[in-house]
Structure 1
Amino acid sequence: MADTAHSSDHASANSTEQSSKDSKVEFSEDEETLITRMYNLVGERWSLIAGRIPGRTAEEIQNYWTSRHSSGD
């Protein structure tokens, strides 16, 4: 039972590390262009957009988009 508790603590620590990394994710100019084009075609279908950009997750794409376009556009 102690192993289970240790595993969940480790998973929690990993998700915390990942969250802090997500806020600092850099996108190339090509990725930004592709995200914009895909968004114009399919809207907020983040997993579909992420499927076109190798190594990117839907959450990364959504966080990028909302950080760039949520301030009263």
Structure 2
Amino acid sequence: MADLDHSSDDTSVDSREESSQDSKLEFSEDEETLVALMYNLIGERWSLIAGRIPGRTAEEIEKYWTSRYSTVSE
């Protein structure tokens, strides 16, 4: 019975993480503009950029930037 409780906890954590990751990459037009401007001014100082965007973390900003502007070709 403890195993059932544990696996249901894992499922709820996984679904929260997935929806959380999806929302991280959804930036408003204003946020995108601000991230680009700040990046051009100060570079990869994600915590400083995140400090200018309420509700965003440095990790979210970095993840957004690398997913959007990555120059790696596949």
Aligned to 1:64: 64
Q: How does 1:1-73 map to 2 (within 5 A)?
A: 14=13, 16=14, 17-18=16-17, 20=18, 21-25=20-24, 26-72=26-72
Q: Which runs of 4+ in 1 moved over 6 A?
A: none
Cα drift, residue 24 of structure 1: 4.1
Count residues in correspondence: 62
> Which TM-score applies when normalising by structure 1?
0.69
Q: Where in structure 2 are there 5+ consecutive unaligned residues?
A: 1-5
Q: Note the aligned Cα RMSD (angstroms).
A: 2.4
Q: Distance in 1 between matches of 2:59 and 2:65?
A: 10
Gaps of 5+ in 1: 1-5
TM-score under structure 2 normalisation?
0.69
